[in-house]
Amino acid sequence: MKWIYDLSYEMLKTEFAGANLKKFTTDQVFQWLYFKNIQDVNLWSNISKTDRQFLESNYNTSLIGVVRATGDEHGTRKFLLELHDKLRIEAVLIPEKHHFTFCISTQAGCPLACRFCATGLLGFKRNLTAGEIISQILVLKNEIRYYTGKLNIVLMGMGEPLLNYENLEQALKIMTSAKAMNISPRNITISTSGILEPLKRFEKTFPRVKISFSLNASDDLMRETLMPISKKEKLADILDYFRDTKLDRIHRITFEYVLLKGVNDSTQDARKVAALLRGIPCKINVIPYNRNESLPFKTPSEQEVNAFADYLHEKGYTVIVRWSKGKEIRSACGQLAGEE
């Protein structure tokens, strides 16, 4: 039986046409799955009983399972989810002042092994399918059924989105399609450590989706040490690309900078970052390092974090310090490891 969330609109349409279902069945099914978020085929009341029986016997409509949900006092909840092959991934539900943010994963583990990241430490298991990416959103939406307001989707959980390009693209089409989830691309962000060719392709296909780039270092050598991918994907090439294409972009690029005590947090580092980003319309998110016992790094003090942020601010940059939510439940940036 096919897992329905892995099928695009076009694939489903072709299959339904082959099975002689009515022309608008695909639209109806998409509405039930992605807009109304109702998994039980028996409740799909505008579809005939015979067609529902056909759907039930040919497609699996159940979502990925929640193994456990952990919450902290701010209302952030981390969901440990189990895929069909028993691999586990994590998704995080974050209540904000005026909306909810869903932080979702694109890979089980991550092959890029950044030195400061718990997901990287885990190694790479496999890419998530489009259905596995999408169904994280449906699982989280089920948790806040009463809520119909704005959703913010950040692809910042486990994995590097641009290394799972085809499935990312299929999932984003379902997120943004008016026939499916109808989420505005403005409310979607992908976070990447910077893989230039798929990044270019992505921005052409989804020009309104926001891009966060994980900078995390003030020069090449430091970045190559902290983020091994940087040996292949040169920082200068990525920054040149951002600079050269700035007029085509609706949103400013967000640069994420994980602040590691004594490693990349000095005034000299701040000065180098200010110089690196000159000419790129951007925002800078300074993220004080979230601790992990297996890793050798330390979190700078609040004073050190503020000094770094203030320097960049004085140089004219928009800087936001992100003291992470959900640290207590290990759901903050870089702490997702599908753990038991």
Using CB under 6 A, list all residues that contact ligand SAH: 110, 116-117, 156, 160, 191-193, 214, 216, 256, 258, 287, 289-290, 292, 333-334
Identify the residue among 26, 76, 119, 135 touching ligand SF4 (CB under 6 A): 119
DSSP code of 151? E
Shortest distance (Å) from residue 233 CB to ligand SAH:
12
The reply to whether 117 sits near ligand SF4 by the rule CB under 6 A is yes
List the 151-155 sheet strands across, edge first.
65-71, 77-82, 88-95, 100-103, 151-155, 188-192, 210-214, 253-259, 282-288, 318-321
Residue 141 or 261 with smaller CB distance to ligand SAH: 261
Q: Which does 277 bind (CB under 5 to 8 A by kind): ligand SF4, ligand SAH, none?
A: none
- Please say if 333 is a catalytic residue: yes
- Please say if 96 is a catalytic residue: no
Shortest distance (Å) from residue 220 CB to ligand SF4:
17
Shortest distance (Å) from residue 260 CB to ligand SF4:
12
Q: Using CA atoms, how far apart are residues 221 and 217, in angstroms rounded to an integer?
A: 9
Site for ligand SF4 in 183-202 (CB under 6 A): 193
> Amino acid identity of 155?
L
Q: Using CA atoms, how far apart are residues 80 and 130, in angstroms rounded to an integer?
A: 18
The interface region with ligand SF4, picked from 112-120, 265-273, 282-290, 298-306 by CB under 6 A, is 112-120
Shortest distance (Å) from residue 330 CB to ligand SAH:
10
Shortest distance (Å) from residue 81 CB to ligand SAH:
16
C-alpha closest to that of 170 among 338, 5, 339, 337 = 5
> Amino acid identity of 105?
S
Q: Which does 80 bind (CB under 5 to 8 A by kind): ligand SF4, ligand SAH, none?
A: none
Q: Which of 110, 114, 282, 333 is catalytic?
A: 333
Q: Which does 113 bind (CB under 5 to 8 A by kind): ligand SF4, ligand SAH, none?
A: ligand SF4
Q: Using CA atoms, how far apart are residues 228 and 163, in angstroms rounded to an integer?
A: 15
The interface region with ligand SF4, picked from 13-21, 62-70, 110-118, 218-226 by CB under 6 A, is 110-118
Q: Is the dihedral of CA 128, 328, 320, 184 positive or negative?
A: positive
Identify the residue among 51, 90, 132, 160 touching ligand SF4 (CB under 6 A): 160
Residue 94 or 258 with smaller CB distance to ligand SAH: 258
> Cβ neighbours of residue 162 under 8 Å, at least 6 residues apart?
168, 190, 192, 195, 198, 199, 202
Phi, psi of 234 (to 5 degrees): -70, 135
The answer to whether the beta carbons of residues 37 and 177 sit under 8 Å apart is no
C-alpha closest to that of 69 among 337, 333, 331 = 331
> Cβ neighbours of residue 111 under 8 Å, at least 6 residues apart?
123, 124, 160, 163
Q: Is 211 helix (H, G, I), strand (E, B) or coil?
A: strand
Active-site amino acid positions: 90, 333
Which residues bind to ligand SF4, rule: CB under 6 A? 110, 112-114, 117, 119-120, 159-160, 193, 214, 334
